[in-house]
Amino acid sequence: MTTYWVIAASYAGTERTPLSQLFATPFQATTFLEHIHHNPAYTYAVRPATWRERELRLFMADPETGKAVYRPVVWADEAWWCNIAHHFKDHFLHVSVIDPTAVAFTEDERKGEADRQTYMRPGKYLQKFLAAGPSGEIEHGPLKGLPSQVTKMQIAFYAQWHQVGKRPESDDTLFITEDEHEIVRVYEEGPESCMMGKGWDFKDHPVRVYAGGGLAMAYLNNASGEVIARTLCWPEEQVFGRVYPTANNDTQRDHYNELMARLKAKGWRSITEDNSVFEGARLRHLTNRHGNTMMPYLDNEYGVRDEYRDGRAWWVMTHDENHQESTDGTMCGNEPDWHCECCEEGFSDNYDSCSVYRYWNGTGRSGYPRGEETWCQDCRDNSSYYCDGCDEHFNDNGNAIYAEDGCTYEPRWFEANGGWQCAHSQSYYFKADDPPVVLADGQLIHADHVEDHTFVCWATGLRWFDDSESLAVPGYHVSLDGWAQHPMEWENVVPAMPEDPVDVAAWALAHVIAPLASNHPPPVDPIVEEVYGALTDTGSIEGFVTPRAWGDITINIASV
């Protein structure tokens, strides 16, 4: 197994991503390190590359030759593969260096460390790891158990592409549509542009203006039905505009050239030959839900003028007007009357605005909502919440209180009006309706959970969450485990309380009050409660209300 070397870079003692170069010997790495500019904030060290670092760097171009050891497979830039490629990141799939008619990949961790690649024909790789087996599901690899990700036609298509070194032309289908739904779909699912991915629904999508006036969309679908290229066209005039995608890599260049060639073969002229091909083309007058005039970004610096033709108003494309270069889907020069402070969209005064606040400030119901912002109705409905206590909307930043009474509250308003949270259930209540039980450490718990989730320490009489109870000596707080003499070892023999109420006062004085005053542990909580009840029944409670000191804790007998 060949060992490769990398230069590790560390910052503040923590190693970051090593430099991109891969070296055959430590001497090469050290020599390279001596001749590069060092960032003084970093420290550098030569070390053996991990197998993943080695494989990743074999895809990187050598600075001197401009070539990489590994070449990506022909489908590396296809949209369907890009969506799932992260599942196969440890395969480091590439065209085989030994046999270019095959693909090679790292099958598992053990083979990666041994620098052993597995070779397969591209069709076999796709069939094994991405197509369904006899079970109807993928049977091998990272996507095992999932439905097939490729069709038999795709497998044959990419296998042929790999073998001949050129993307086959016959599998891409040319479509021309004037349907506005299809035009919107092609823009959203096709090559990247400034008119896609903005979150517009169909009614608000600006490219709808292309439909209905004679313009159309020409596009190519590949073997898997993906939109791989598109262009605006005017079939009646046999002309077409800018072709997408922009040719930034070999795959995009193939798609661009394919659509260009298909339309040129029909005898159509391109805007690259004549920039005036869309002079006089009509666009529909449409407004979005905010009341603003819709207009897409128009390529080649086209503007529009208003024209009444065939009984209706149209926008007519022309170079004599200012360029319609807005990418927000609205017409340039048609400034909105107001903007939503949430989505930053512009709106006309025909669209109602809403007040949404950032927080509540004040004491109880005498406070006021603060930080008022102007929002559109959609943002208010989807990105804010309504406080049932103060009857206002607040920015939904994840801090809304959903109380057990079924209402929603702003946190500061909730706290100012007696709201509290149960430390066990994390549920929210109002003190006026559900008073909390206060534990020894100040935490609050609902009365419904006291019996099952708390305990009273026999030594102190204080109530705690049951996770604070000693495992070694149940009934006592865990902090007492470290005492030299555990409280359970102290003398604490309490005779049974007399049945005759007349004798209870004397019994309590001897076995409850006296032990407290002399630093003896008090009787356990159930006995104290029983004493309290007995004293109340006899009417002799006045003599037992004086606070008594026990250790560092003062206990009021009447309040136990």
For the chain, what are the domain ranges? 5-57, 79-164, 353-416, 437-488, 494-559
The predicted structure's pLDDT at residue 89: 95
In single-letter form, the type of residue at position 316 comes to V
The predicted structure's pLDDT at residue 171: 66
The predicted structure's pLDDT at residue 411: 95
Q: Which residues pair with 330 in a beta bridge?
A: 294
DSSP state of 513: I
Name the helix (H) or strand (E) containing 129. Answer: helix 122-130
Is residue 193 within 8 A of residue 244, CB to CB? The reply is yes
DSSP state of 244: B
The predicted structure's pLDDT at residue 529: 44
Tokens 């004679």 sit on residue: 214
Is residue 204 within 8 A of residue 130, CB to CB? The reply is no
The predicted structure's pLDDT at residue 18: 86
Query: In 10 A of CB 463, how many CB atoms?
Result: 18
Which tens digits make up the pLDDT trace of 154-211? 898 899 999 998 877 656 889 999 999 999 999 999 998 888 888 888 888 999 999 9
C-alpha span between 31 and 29 (Å, rounded)? 5
- pTM beyond 0.85: the answer is no
393: buried, middle or exposed (CB in 10 Å: 19+, 13-18, 0-12)? buried
DSSP string, 391-453: TEEEE-SS--EE-TTS-EE-HHHHHHTTEEE-TTT--EEETTTSPPEEPTTS-EE-HHHHHHH
Which tens digits make up the pLDDT trace of 357-395? 999 998 766 788 999 999 998 899 999 999 999 999 999
- Output the six-digit token pair for 430: 């109002």
Count of CA atoms in the C-beta half-sphere (13 A) of 398 = 0
The predicted structure's pLDDT at residue 540: 40
C-alpha span between 161 and 351 (Å, rounded)? 54
Q: Give average pLDDT by consecutive 10-residue segment, the chain, 560 residues.
A: 83 85 87 84 90 92 86 86 92 95 95 94 96 92 92 87 82 90 93 87 92 95 88 96 87 84 88 93 90 90 86 90 86 77 80 90 81 92 93 93 94 93 95 93 94 89 91 88 74 61 68 52 46 44 36 36
